[in-house]
Amino acid sequence: MNVWLFALRNAGRNRRRSLLAGGIISFGFAALALSGGFMAQTFDALRDGTIRGGVGHLQFTNPDAADDAAGLEALRHGLADASRAVTALRGDSQVVEVLERTEFFGLLTDGEVAIPFAGVGVDPEAERRTMDAPRLVTSGRWLEEGDGRDAHEVVLGSGLAGALGVSPGEVVTMMAMSVDGVLNAIDAEVVGIATLPVREMDDRYLATSLGAADTVLLAHGAVSKLVVLIADPSRVEAEALRLHDRLEREGIQTAVRTWPVLAVFYRQVRQLYLGMFGFLGLVLLLIVLLATANTMLMVTTERTREIGTLRALGARRGRIQRYFLAEGVTIGGLGCMAGAILALVLREILNRAEILLPPPPGVAHPVPLFIRFYPTAYALGAAIMILAVVLATWIPARRASRRPIIDSLAHV
């Protein structure tokens, strides 16, 4: 008789034990599939938030400022030929958007109190199209294009605005050290208040137009960096090299870095989550392994006389072990199928329940629970469950097949 047909019949004949083992496997599979989908969705949301938060897919800077992680020399070694670089990059079919950025530090005052800020000069319309900052405005409005690069408007983080005691419509003074080392100041209207997800950023955030930043810094058109969004994020490394070579051919010297290199916070959170979920997966595997091994041990014990009869009829030990292994794999496969159905049903229920989770790292507000369908988690869950049931079946089967025939036949 075919070993798989024999295994299927034995699984049906020992229905109670098979259902117990299959239930353990199905619940273990569903847990792995759901946690994998949740983790994948968390990583995707964190990645997209990092990219749209201002990092972009690629960043081009002056080679002399490439290693300046703090950005303190960003304008002293800025991109003076940024307009040519922007034109060259926007002419590439794989480039979605190029955003000029001017990053600087200074003091913001309403005439009575002065508070440090971390400022960024942006192209308001390009920022509105591609980044999250304009959607974080909770009071007032986002920056407007203005007349050329001369609009003196600012959007403040809610923490910075609260500390200064200003609201939209009021005028503040930005003071910053110019590229030449001279303290300069301009007046600007507060047009919006934004609530940023990270409190430390919210307490210091200031966004203004490129023109206003250029005026206060006396940068003469230089910018700190170019943030580039590409059409195919999966090819970020290849596109970085290709676009860098394109600028080199245009005679524009730049250094390029990709978002995985720049997003230190993303890497740290990803490693933390992988460690936690990996540990939980290992614990779940051990639970399934021990529970299934206990069940299969009871199955082989109850069938000791059957094993002795097969041995007496000439069946070799290896064949008996194959019978039990095939039975375990059959139960494991059916359990995984049931677990996949269970995971899909639970996923649909949880996604429709609109459950709010506590804010993850880097987020200030609760986020809705959403579990993504992640095929890799299902495949990995099936592999882990099958491996667990094979190990759990092989050990008692090997022990039972090595028992003397006389003792097996006399077993009660």
pLDDT tens digits, one per residue of 133-168: 999 999 999 998 764 444 689 999 999 999 999 999
Q: Closest Cα to residue 77, out of 250, 223, 229?
A: 223
**What's the one-letter identity of residue 74?**
A
Q: What is the pLDDT of residue 358?
A: 75
Mean pLDDT, residues 370-398 taken together: 85
Q: What is the pLDDT of residue 121?
A: 93
Residue 78 pLDDT greater than 80, yes or no: no
Show the tokens assigned to 302. Answer: 């109850």
For tokens 């609109």, the residue is 354
Helix locations, 91-225, DSSP H: 124-130, 158-164, 199-202, 210-217
- How far is it, in rounded angstroms, from Cα 192 to Cα 108? 15
Q: Closest Cα to residue 126, out of 56, 59, 224, 186?
A: 56
Q: Are 96 and 231 in contact (CB under 8 A)?
A: yes
CA distances from 216 to 72, 122, 145, 179 (A): 16, 14, 18, 10
For tokens 């749209």, the residue is 52
What global pTM score does this model have? 0.75
Helix locations, 250-374, DSSP H: 259-262, 264-302, 304-312, 317-352
Mean pLDDT, residues 275-284 taken together: 82
- Give the tens place of pLDDT for each residue, 308-338: 777 777 777 777 777 778 888 888 888 999 9
Q: What is the pLDDT of residue 67?
A: 54
| pLDDT-wise least confident of 193-202, 298-307, 349-358 | 298-307
Q: Are 175 and 239 in contact (CB under 8 A)?
A: no
Length, in residues, of the chain: 412
- How far is it, in rounded angstroms, from Cα 176 to Cα 178? 6
Mean pLDDT, residues 399-411 taken together: 69
